[in-house]
């Protein structure tokens, strides 16, 4: 029976990006594939089917388009199945074709199923024009299901299951909401809000541009989808077409307002690291499925760039098998007594650049006990649970683009090389928390409330979330992107927006870091995006300002039964643990001279700085900037040249210690 758990890896997920000689974007091939799991074999005395018959055929659809399809089925009937074999329909990802699934479909048919595959309209050898994963393609599938239900040769029409990922998971979901009647669906890496997820918070994802930029040998679009590619390149120009894109993209594609009408049992799953669709869309829809037969998983799902986890893969295979036994073979799996939702946290260690996963489950999702924990962007580039003191405190990063350098230029340059780096300057601001006093679990969708101002009428704020380990290395966790396309220059505004959903365990003694930048690229993206950013940047010169007071990130943290809001080490705890100490200045208040002392632990020998800042965060003095060894040091600051007020002094020692204290100058 070990063959039940064999997995077929379908071609590589990603081919490198290239630019053709005529300057057109060659979108990567095979980007939208997922890995299928072999379903359990039909009970037939343990024997596999002797041979599988492959039968190609075509169906004329309602509008004259032809669907190219293939049927795989056992050559002999099964005496234990008088009503015929159960049926599986496999739907491919976008820009793919039925031939990619042929080997897997044949292998599944050998397990005792009738298996159908077909090329979605405008793809493969099917005719018609693609409307990009919409109600049009869903109605095609409904026609296909009705067609095969009339195919009485060896087929049990009460036992039809449809499975697929991305396009292959989206179309069956929409079709079921439009009246398609099948036994069950397995829908991977998609979302009831997938259309707006591609252009979330005003920001256009690179994966969306790729999907609407296929050459005709791969995908053939209708005029509306063809226009969308032009609209993307025009966003931010004098012929801005953002309003057209935002209006037309969701129509006939988003279906979150119909989910409550679902009557087909559905198994949903999303990858936390999906470069196409945010898992938040499915998470939000779960309450609408109350009372409907459904289960869901969020975590390690192969497809759209997600990390691979062998333990999660093994669990997945059993997960699929149980679904099949319950709804095709009508063998109860005890779902009513088990948590409906399964998920997995990413966590250290990382192996070959990929996270480990820690499996968990819950009867509700997100799990009960979540606290939206606020971390404020604060003075000295800190990330603290307390708000900043003054309205005027701010930081800025620039969007510096050479006049005449366009988004299309940057896309064709693949956001790399001398031409790009000379004409687009990347800028960023970092905010880092204190050390964590314990392991902290985040699960759900982070969001940012941002108080901001820009010198341009179009501004973009990209926020990247990292875990920083005690040795100072940072590892990417999640991101939040926001582009204000209705902004008026030099206006102070406040906006709240959600980021990419994630479950992650931040480890004790690590720090949380948020990076604000004008170009959302991290080293972890390169396996999937190559040199391209997650969202397309704004190509307008601007200084983008973040006002510290009123700007914060809310992280959905599972703080445990005690719901203890203290997650960071107190400064004195840090000093004891590391044997560093920074003393309060003496005297304090002072006029005009004060002494500042600190201690470096035994064995320390490294870079040390002691800086003074005024209340605005401007550095006014640098008392120490040298290499020091263990010992206790004392330095005086003469503030004769400075006005009365509050000042801060910051000690930084090596890569592991930083402390800040306040002092008051009174004249």
Looking at the structure, tell me whether residues 399 and 357 fall in a common domain. no
Percent of the chain with pLDDT over 90: 72
Looking at the structure, tell me whether residues 637 and 546 fall in a common domain. no
CA end-to-end span of the chain? 85
Average pLDDT of the chain is 89
pLDDT tens digits for 39-70?
777 655 455 556 899 999 999 999 999 999 99
CATH classification at residue 304: 3.40.50.1820
CATH classification at residue 549: 2.60.120.260
Domain end call among 558, 589, 604: 558
Looking at the structure, tell me whether residues 583 and 500 fall in a common domain. no
In this structure, the strands spanning 184-188 and 266-271 are parallel
69, 33 in Cβ contact below 8 A?
A: no
Residue 565 maps to a domain: no
pLDDT tens digits for 256-277?
999 999 999 999 999 999 999 9
According to the model, what pLDDT value does residue 53 have? 94
321, 329 in Cβ contact below 8 A?
A: no
590, 665 in Cβ contact below 8 A?
A: yes
Across-strand partners of 453? 545
Of residues 255 and 579, the one with the higher pLDDT is: 255
Of residues 193 and 660, the one with the higher pLDDT is: 193
| d(C-alpha 12, C-alpha 40), whole Å | 25
Looking at the structure, tell me whether residues 497 and 580 fall in a common domain. no
Concatenating the DSSP letter of every residue in 424-460 gives EE--EEEEE---BSS-EEEEE--EEEEEEEESSSSEE
| d(C-alpha 611, C-alpha 606), whole Å | 16
According to the model, what pLDDT value does residue 39 have? 74
Instruction: Give 567's pLDDT tier (boundaries 50, 70, 90).
Output: confident
Residue 563 maps to a domain: no
Domain end call among 341, 362, 383: 362
Whole domain around residue 72: which residue ranges? 2-362
pLDDT tens digits for 290-305?
989 999 999 999 889 8
Q: How many domains does the structure of the chain reveal?
A: 3
321: left (phi over 0), alpha (psi -120 to 50) or beta: alpha
According to the model, what pLDDT value does residue 570 have? 62
| Most distant pair of Cα atoms in the chain: their distance | 100
Residue 564 maps to a domain: no
Looking at the structure, tell me whether residues 541 and 444 fall in a common domain. yes
Looking at the structure, tell me whether residues 145 and 194 fall in a common domain. yes
> Does the pLDDT at position 248 exceed 60?
yes
Looking at the structure, tell me whether residues 122 and 24 fall in a common domain. yes
| d(C-alpha 530, C-alpha 21), whole Å | 20
CATH classification at residue 626: 2.60.40.10
Looking at the structure, tell me whether residues 212 and 274 fall in a common domain. yes
Looking at the structure, tell me whether residues 213 and 328 fall in a common domain. yes
Show Cβ contacts of residue 576 under 8 Å, excluding neighbours closer than 6 positions. Answer: none
> Does the pLDDT at position 587 exceed 90?
no
Burial class (CB in 10 A: 0-12, 13-18, 19+), 540: middle
Instruction: Give 391's pLDDT tier (boundaries 50, 70, 90).
Output: confident
According to the model, what pLDDT value does residue 389 have? 72
482, 201 in Cβ contact below 8 A?
A: yes
Residue 524 maps to a domain: yes
652, 665 in Cβ contact below 8 A?
A: no
User: What are the two backbone dihedrals, phi and then psi, of residue 188, each rounded to the nearest 5 degrees?
Assistant: -110, 155
According to the model, what pLDDT value does residue 655 have? 76
Looking at the structure, tell me whether residues 587 and 521 fall in a common domain. no
According to the model, what pLDDT value does residue 13 have? 24
Q: Looking at mean pLDDT, say which of 77-86, 147-156, 348-357 comes out highest.
A: 348-357
Across-strand partners of 664? 646
Looking at the structure, tell me whether residues 256 and 393 fall in a common domain. no
Whole-model pTM: value is: 0.84
Secondary structure class of 175 (helix, strand, coil): helix
Residue 401 maps to a domain: yes
Q: Looking at mean pLDDT, say which of 136-140, 592-596, 655-659 comes out highest.
A: 136-140
């Amino acid at each position: 029976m070990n063959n039940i758990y064999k997995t077929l890896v379908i071609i590589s997920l990603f081919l490198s990006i290239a630019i053709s000689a005529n300057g057109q974007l060659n979108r990567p091939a095979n980007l939208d594939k997922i890995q299928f799991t072999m379903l359990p074999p039909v009970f037939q005395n343990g024997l596999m089917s002797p041979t599988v018959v492959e039968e190609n055929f075509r169906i004329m659809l309602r509008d004259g388009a032809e669907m190219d399809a293939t049927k795989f089925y056992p050559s002999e009937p099964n005496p234990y199945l008088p009503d015929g074999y159960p049926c599986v329909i496999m739907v491919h990802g976008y820009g793919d074709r039925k031939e990619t699934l042929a080997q897997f479909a044949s292998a599944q048919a050998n397990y005792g199923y009738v298996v159908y595959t077909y090329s979605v309209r405008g793809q493969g050898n099917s005719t018609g024009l693609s409307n990009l994963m919409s109600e049009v393609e869903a109605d095609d599938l409904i026609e296909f299901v009705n067609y095969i239900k009339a195919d009485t040769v060896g087929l049990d029409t009460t036992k039809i299951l449809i499975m697929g990922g991305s396009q292959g998971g989206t179309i069956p979901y929409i079709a079921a909401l439009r009246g398609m009647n099948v036994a069950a669906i397995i829908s991977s890496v998609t979302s009831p809000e997938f259309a707006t997820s591609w252009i979330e918070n005003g920001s256009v994802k690179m994966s969306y541009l790729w999907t609407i930029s296929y050459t005709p040998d791969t995908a053939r679009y209708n005029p509306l989808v063809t226009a969308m590619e032009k609209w993307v390149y025009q966003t931010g120009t004098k012929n801005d077409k953002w309003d057209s894109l935002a209006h037309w993209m969701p129509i006939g594609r988003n279906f979150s307002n119909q989910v409550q009408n679902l009557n087909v049992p559905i198994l949903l799953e999303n990858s936390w690291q999906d470069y196409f669709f945010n898992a938040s869309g499915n998470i939000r829809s779960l309450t609408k499925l109350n009372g409907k037969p459904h289960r869901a998983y969020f975590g390690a799902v192969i497809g759209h760039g997600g990390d691979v986890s062998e333990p999660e893969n093994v669990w997945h295979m059993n997960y699929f098998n149980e679904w099949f036994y319950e709804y095709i073979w009508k063998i109860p799996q005890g779902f009513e007594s088990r948590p409906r939702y399964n998920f997995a946290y990413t966590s250290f260690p990382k192996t070959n650049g990929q996270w480990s996963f820690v499996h968990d489950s819950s009867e509700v999702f997100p799990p009960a006990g979540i606290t939206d924990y606020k971390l404020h962007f604060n003075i000295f580039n800190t990330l603290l649970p307390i708000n900043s003191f003054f309205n005027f405190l701010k930081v800025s990063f620039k969007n510096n683009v050479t006049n005449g350098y366009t988004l299309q230029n940057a896309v064709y340059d693949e956001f790399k090389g001398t031409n790009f780096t000379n004409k687009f300057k990347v800028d960023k601001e970092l905010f880092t928390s204190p050390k964590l006093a314990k392991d902290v679990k985040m699960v759900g969708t982070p969001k940012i409330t941002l108080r901001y101002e820009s010198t341009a009428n179009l501004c973009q704020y990209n926020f990247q979330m990292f875990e920083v380990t005690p040795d100072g290395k940072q590892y990417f966790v999640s991101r939040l992107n926001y582009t204000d396309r209705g902004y008026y220059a030099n206006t102070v505004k406040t906006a709240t927006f959600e980021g990419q959903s994630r479950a992650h365990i931040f480890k004790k003694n690590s720090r949380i870091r948020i990076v604000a930048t004008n170009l959302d690229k991290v080293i972890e993206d390169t396996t999937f995006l190559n040199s391209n950013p997650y969202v397309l940047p704004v190509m307008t010169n601007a200084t983008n300002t973040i006002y510290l007071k009123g700007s914060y990130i809310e992280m959905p943290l599972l703080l445990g039964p005690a719901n203890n809001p203290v997650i960071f080490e107190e400064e004195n705890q840090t000093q004891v643990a590391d044997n560093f100490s920074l003393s309060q200045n003496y005297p304090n208040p002072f006029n005009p001279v004060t002494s500042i002392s600190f201690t470096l632990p035994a064995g320390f020998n490294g870079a040390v700085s002691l800086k003074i800042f005024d209340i605005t965060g401007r550095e006014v003095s640098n008392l120490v900037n040298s290499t020091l060894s263990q010992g206790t040091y004392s330095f005086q600051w003469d503030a004769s040249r400075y006005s009365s007020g509050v000042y801060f002094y910051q000690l930084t020692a090596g890569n592991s210690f930083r402390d800040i204290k306040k002092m008051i100058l009174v004249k």
